[in-house]
Amino acid sequence: MTLAVLNIDWQTLTDAVALGAIYALMAVGIGLVFGVLRLVNFAYGQLVMAGAFALALASQWGWPVWAGIVLCFAVVLVLSLAMDRLVFRPLRSHSPAVMLVATFAVAFLLQSVAVLWFGSLGKIATSLAYLNRPVTISNVDIRKITIVAVIVALACLLALTALLERTTIGLHMRAASMDFQTARILGVRANRVIAVAVLLSGALAAVVAVMLTVQTPLVTPDFALRDTIIVLAGVVLGGMNRPVSATLGGFAIGFASGLLGGALPTDKSQYLPSFLFAAVILVLLVRPRGLFARKGAVERV
Amino acid sequence: MSESLVVEGLEVRHGGVQAVRGLSFEVRPGEIVGLIGANGAGKSSTLHAIMGVAPVTGGDIRLGKLSLRGRRPEEIARAGVALVPEGRRIFAELTVEENLKLGLAARRSRGAEAGVLSRVYDLFPIVEEFRRRHAGALSGGQQQQLAIARALVAEPDVLLLDEPSLGLAPTVVDVVFEALATIRSSGLAVLLVEQRAQRTVALADRSHVLANGELRLTLGPENANDTAAMVEAYFS
Amino acid sequence: MRRLIGLQELAGPMLLVVAAALLGTVVSISTQSYFTDALVKVAIVVALYVFIGNSGVLSFGHVSFVAVGAWTAGVLSVPAAEKPAIMPSLAHVLRDRTVGNLSSLALAALVGGICALIVALPLMRLSGLAAGIATFGVLEITHNLLRYEEKIGPGLNTFSSVPETTGLRQAALGALVVIVAAYAYGRSRLGRLLRATREDPAAARAAGVSVYRQRVTAFALSGLLAGLAGGLYVHLLPVNTESVYLDLTFITLAMLVIGGATSLWGAVVGALAVSALDSYLAVAENGTSFLGWQIDLPAGTRVIVVGALMAVVLILRPSGLTGGRELRLRWPW
């Protein structure tokens, strides 16, 4: 069974959806922190990398899968909070450019810590490898991780939406991302809102770490680095100002890169990044505020 | 029991500019105190300093016995000071009801939220009528009523208002000023920064005229028609 | 008097470069290479400063032009006899031509400048985050094309056989040329107009300054200087696509920010200070002694220290070591 157009088969299509789903989660993670801190966290990929190393270590030590996942969450959450305390908080009053460069530094710092600790060859996380096996649905082979990724991403997004729309802390976070000063004047606690955003963003990074290690079991210090760069482009492409547009941007770029990867003829496939970033630049030139940004939304950077 | 707001020898500096110099006054429960003066006289800076969003370089601000100086805005709000900011600063993308719920963030007591909301709805029926709409869809006057309502649901001791009549139609200004009188009679201490000097002097128990960051003159309601005194204080 | 102060702003950075070069002549040959490398970094960072410092707009894409310059000078400098071995798929035009050291540097600058101009024409319409991501996109595209396009270079291979003409002298002269160009631009009407847009874009626009045109000019000029620096780089050591990609982007941005992004003095101080530290740590990674202590740092410590230093400087002194100001000595008279 094949889609006649562009020579894309169902396998490619489902993989593209799964990649889009994972990127959407990363986009939300980056977007949540941007919302409250106006800070583009370049080091987000290193959170994912740290989580992936936790999984790899757990599988090397022969821990059960659930314990590995718990360790992954613990490591990523602790690291997120540390990042907020040691870097984001002292920088809060600085310009967005300074904060962006600072997170760039943190990203390199964490990456070289990983090189120092684990070596540049990396480690292998095997505990969830069985999810790579395919299931056959009406003659189409789909890897289990594809289905898991889509379901987990949807569940995370639904839970997050419920939190933001239905709870008091969610209302406070939305208000803070629209106008932090006024929210504080109304009594919204800045530190609490930021801590919750950072923790949620970290939890999403841990989820992403689990799913990416299934797809790429070899965990190296530059794990998720490329993905982060692409997701960042996607988030800006979608529109940073609202979680929804950031998520859509993340999904769109994941889906597009998955699809392009399958649709490009083999001798052109190594140029995928060029096609992708050329498309990003073109879209930015046409819609600098993002594809899905609401009209009149102010960019404060 | 409600507390008084006491400002003592307040100094505020913005960059290199001294915005407020040695300002002292008091607002007691059940009082409206007006702050009037030309643009740049230091009225808004005073409110911002009380609220913790402008740097206080000297003097003190107290709510009852509690010093507010150097505290974060959210702490000050939670201590019982509510600000209706200039330009209203409504969350346009949230519903009217969500805007009100944000106001609850600074509330010191828990529970009985329905009672608080219904009292505010009595004061501003329009807010209740449109509570499911996006706040951005309201008119300027309606937004101003929402901004005051949002400050009131926190059940503060002190209500600060920064030019609430700015840009409003005369009939709406009437609504706002009537509401302020009602709020005063409920026992709040109200500090009103205004450009409409004459109406403010007529409404407030005392009105302080500021010029160049300093207190120049204090007027009572009986001076409301003494335009000469006001003009002199403004331009001296 | 104003002129004197102005010259001081040029003399300070130049003297620092000359001093570093002279210091480089008295150390051992193996240590000398660190000095040469530092001087090439000065050229790259000052090229970055021309755009970022004067415009206040962040660019992650400048190493693209370093790469383009390195490719230009490299491809044209490899001896004709060795080209088929290193670059079998090279386009005919490039295969048959080999130029000398100076011509290769000039062409590197030219190609860098032209590429930067082409990139700037559409991209300088953007600002803020969109501009940041778009320049990053340029870096990605450049890296990707150079990596796989074997008609214009060695692709995945390393540029070997490029004559290693960038010694201490050429590196110092190159850095001085870039500094003088940056200084001349900064003092010119164009430079002052661009800085006016940095301080207050709205006011500059109201005064009739085209922010777009000023940024395009600066971007092209800084691309030209980055191209020249890339030429110096490829003549210094065997370069491949990875050596002109993320790591170089990070270290040069770090140098600029640590030194103080808004001044020429800051760019030079940052490049030399970070280079010194980085080189010392590189030596220490191979084992060394300091004040009698045997120091043997594990590999990878360098990036950690530089990253941490950058974060600390950003937190404590967001405008850099020099405060982003030009050198102003107080004269005793």
Query: The tokens of B137 are what?
Result: 């869809």
User: Could you give the angle at the alpha carbon of A121 between the alpha carbons of C238 and A101, nearest 5°?
Assistant: 70
Nearest CA in chain A to C156: A270
Yes or no, beta carbons of A190 and B74 under 8 Å apart: yes
In the A/B pair of chains, how many CB contacts fall below 8 A?
Answer: 61
Report CB contact under 8 Å: C128, A280: no
The pLDDT value recorded for residue C293 is: 67
Cα A79 from Cα A71, distance rounded (Å): 12
Q: Is the pLDDT of residue C112 over 90?
A: yes
CB–CB of A105 and C132 under 8 A?
no
Do A188 and B102 lie within an 8 Å CB cutoff?
yes
Say whether residue A36 is in contact with chain B using an 8 A CB cutoff.
Answer: no
Closest chain C C-alpha to A37 CA, distance in angstroms: 14
Cβ contact, residue pair B73, A175, below 8 Å: no
* Residue A299: per-residue pLDDT: 39
Q: Yes or no: say if C63 and C152 are a contact pair by the CB < 8 Å rule.
A: no
* Averaged pLDDT, B25-47: 93
Contact status of B62 with chain A (Cβ, < 8 Å): no
Q: Which chains touch B (3 or more CB pairs under 8 A)?
A: A
Give dist(CA A65, CA A128) in Å, integer. Answer: 7
Q: How many helices (H) and strands (E) does chain B have?
A: 9, 10
pLDDT for A128: 81
**What per-residue confidence (pLDDT) applies to C321?**
86
Per the CB < 8 Å rule, is C310 touching A105?
yes
Probe site for chain A from C314, C316, C317, C319 (most A CB atoms < 10 A): C314
pLDDT of amino acid C295: 66
Amino acid at C81: A
Q: CA A63, A66, A72, A77: dihedral to nearest 10 degrees?
A: -140
Token pair, residue C225, equals: 């200087």
Option in B73, B91, B154 nearest A179 (CB): B91
pLDDT at A297: 42
* Measured torsion, CA atoms of residues C290, C291, C295, C297, in degrees rounded to the nearest 10: -50
Q: Cβ separation of B105 and A178 shorter than 8 Å?
A: no
Residue among B185, B7, B195 nearest B86 (CA): B195
DSSP B203-234: HSSEEEEEETTEEEEEE-GGGTT-HHHHHHHH
Asked if the Cβ–Cβ distance from A190 to B103 is below 8 Å, we say no
Q: Is C2's pLDDT higher than 70?
A: no
What's the ipTM? Answer: 0.92
pLDDT of res. A296:
45
Q: Do chains C and B touch (3 or more CB pairs under 8 A)?
A: no
pLDDT at position C222, please?
97
Beta strand B31-37 with B189-194 is parallel
Cβ within 8 Å, pair A181-B73 = yes
Q: Which residues contact C291 (CB under 8 A, 6 or more apart)?
A: none
Q: Which residues in chain B are closer than 8 Å to A184, comparing Cβ atoms? A: 53, 72-74, 77
**Could you tell me which chain B residue has the CA closest to the CA of A294?**
B93
Confidence band (pLDDT; 50, 70, 90) for C3? low
The verdict on C148 touching A (C-beta cutoff 8 Å) is yes
Integer Cα distance of A102 and A87 in angstroms: 8
In this predicted structure, the answer to whether residue B64 has a pLDDT above a threshold of 70 is yes
Chains that touch C (3 or more CB pairs under 8 A): A
Give CA–CA dist A199/A185, Å, rounded. 24
Strands A134-137 and B31-37: unpaired
Three-state SS for A138?
coil
Confidence of residue C292 (pLDDT cuts 50, 70, 90): low
Q: Which class for C114: exposed (0-12), middle (13-18), buried (19 or more C-beta within 10 A)?
A: middle
Mutate to test the interface with B, among A164, A185, A241, A298 (most CBs of B within 10 A): A185
Considering only CB atoms, A112 lies closest to which of C122, C128, C303, namely C303
- Kind and range of the H or E element at B69? none
Nearest to C94 by CA among C70, C73, C64, C69: C73
Q: Which H, E and C letters describe C149-179, residue by residue?
A: CCCCCCCCCCCCCCCCCCCHHHHHHHHHHHH
Which of B75, B102, B116 to mutate: most A Cβ within 10 Å? B102
CB contact under 8 A, B98 and A171: yes
Contact A274 C299 (CB under 8 A): no
pLDDT in tens, B32-42: 999 998 888 89
Q: Which residues on chain A are in Cβ contact (under 8 Å) with B88?
A: none
The reply to whether residue A270 touches residue C148, judged by beta carbons under 8 angstroms, is yes
Q: Does A91 touch chain C (CB under 8 A)?
A: yes
Mean pLDDT of chain C: 90
Contact C253 A233 (CB under 8 A): no
Residue C307 has its nearest CB partner, among A91, A112, A289, at: A112
Identify which of C137, C148, C299 has the shortest CB distance to residue A280. Answer: C137
pTM of the model: 0.89
pLDDT > 50? residue C333: no
Contact A108 C134 (CB under 8 A): no
Torsion angle of the four alpha carbons B133, B135, B138, B143, in this order, in degrees rounded to the nearest 10: 140
pLDDT value of residue A295:
54
Residue A265: predicted pLDDT: 81
- Which pLDDT does position B227 carry in this prediction? 79
Partner-chain contact A285 C311, CB within 8 Å: no
Q: Which of A112, A117, A299 to mutate to test the interface with C (most CBs of C within 10 A)?
A: A112
Tokens of B170: 């005369």
Return the sign of the alpha-carbon dihedral for residues C269, C270, C273, C276: negative
Q: Is B137 an 8 Å CB contact of chain A?
A: no
Nearest by CB to residue A172, choosing from B83, B93, B105, is B105
C275 three-class SS = helix
Helix ranges restricted to H, chain C: 2-26, 29-55, 63-77, 83-86, 92-95, 101-123, 128-148, 168-187, 189-199, 201-206, 211-234, 246-259, 264-285, 301-316
CB pairs under 8 A between A and C: 131
User: Among residues A11, A23, A9, which one has the least CA distance to residue A257?
Assistant: A23
Q: Which residues contact B214 (CB under 8 A, 6 or more apart)?
A: B21, B22, B23, B42
Burial class (CB in 10 A: 0-12, 13-18, 19+), C84: exposed
Contact A178 B51 (CB under 8 A): no
Q: Which residues of A touch C199 (CB under 8 A)?
A: none
Of A179, A188, A190, the CB nearest to B89: A179
Inter-chain touch A187–B83, beta carbons under 8 Å: no
> Tens place of pLDDT for every residue, chain A, 301 residues?
444 455 678 888 888 999 999 999 999 999 999 988 888 899 999 999 999 999 999 999 999 999 999 999 999 999 999 999 998 888 887 777 678 878 888 998 898 899 888 988 899 988 787 888 888 877 778 888 899 999 999 999 999 999 999 999 999 999 999 999 999 999 999 999 999 999 999 999 999 999 999 988 999 999 999 999 999 999 988 988 788 899 999 999 999 999 988 888 877 888 999 999 999 999 999 988 888 876 544 433 3
Tell me if chain A has a CB within 8 Å of the CB of C257. yes
Least confident of A119-123, A229-233, B135-139, C321-325: C321-325
User: Considering only CA atoms, which of A163, A251, A175, A167 is closest in space to residue A201?
Assistant: A163
**Which helix H or strand E contains B195, and what residues bound it?**
none
pLDDT of residue A2: 46
User: How far is B85 from B146, CA to CA, in rounded Å?
Assistant: 12
Please, are residues B78 and B108 in contact by the beta-carbon 8 Å criterion?
Answer: yes
Look at A104 and C128 and tell me if their CB atoms are within 8 Å: no
The pLDDT tens digits for B172-223 are 999 999 999 999 999 999 999 998 888 999 999 999 999 999 998 899 998 8
Which residues sit opposite C289 in a β-bridge? C294
Q: Tell if the CB–CB gap between C140 and A273 is shorter than 8 Å.
A: yes
Enumerate neighbours of A (3 or more CB pairs within 8 A).
Answer: B, C
Helix extents (H) in A179-298: 180-185, 190-215, 225-238, 243-263, 272-286
d(CA C32, CA C172): 12
Would you call B122 exposed, middle or buried from its count of C-beta atoms within 10 A (0-12, 13-18, 19+)?
Answer: exposed
**Is residue B42 within 8 angstroms of chain A, CB to CB?**
no
pLDDT digits (tens, 9 = 90+) for C138-176: 999 999 999 999 999 999 999 988 999 999 999 999 999
Cα–Cα distance measured from residue B235 to residue B218, given in angstroms and rounded to the nearest whole number: 15
Q: Name the minimum distance, in Å, from the CA of C296 to any CA of chain A.
A: 14
| Residue A4 burial (C-beta neighbours within 10 Å; 0-12, 13-18, 19+) | exposed
The residue of chain C nearest to residue A298, with distances taken between CA atoms, is C128
Is the four-CA dihedral B162, B166, B169, B173 of positive or negative sign?
Answer: positive
Q: Which residue has the tokens 């992708």?
A: A276
| CA–CA dist B140, C7 (Å, integer) | 57
| CA A71 to the chain's CA centroid | 19
Supply φ then ψ for residue B28, to 5 degrees.
Answer: -95, 160
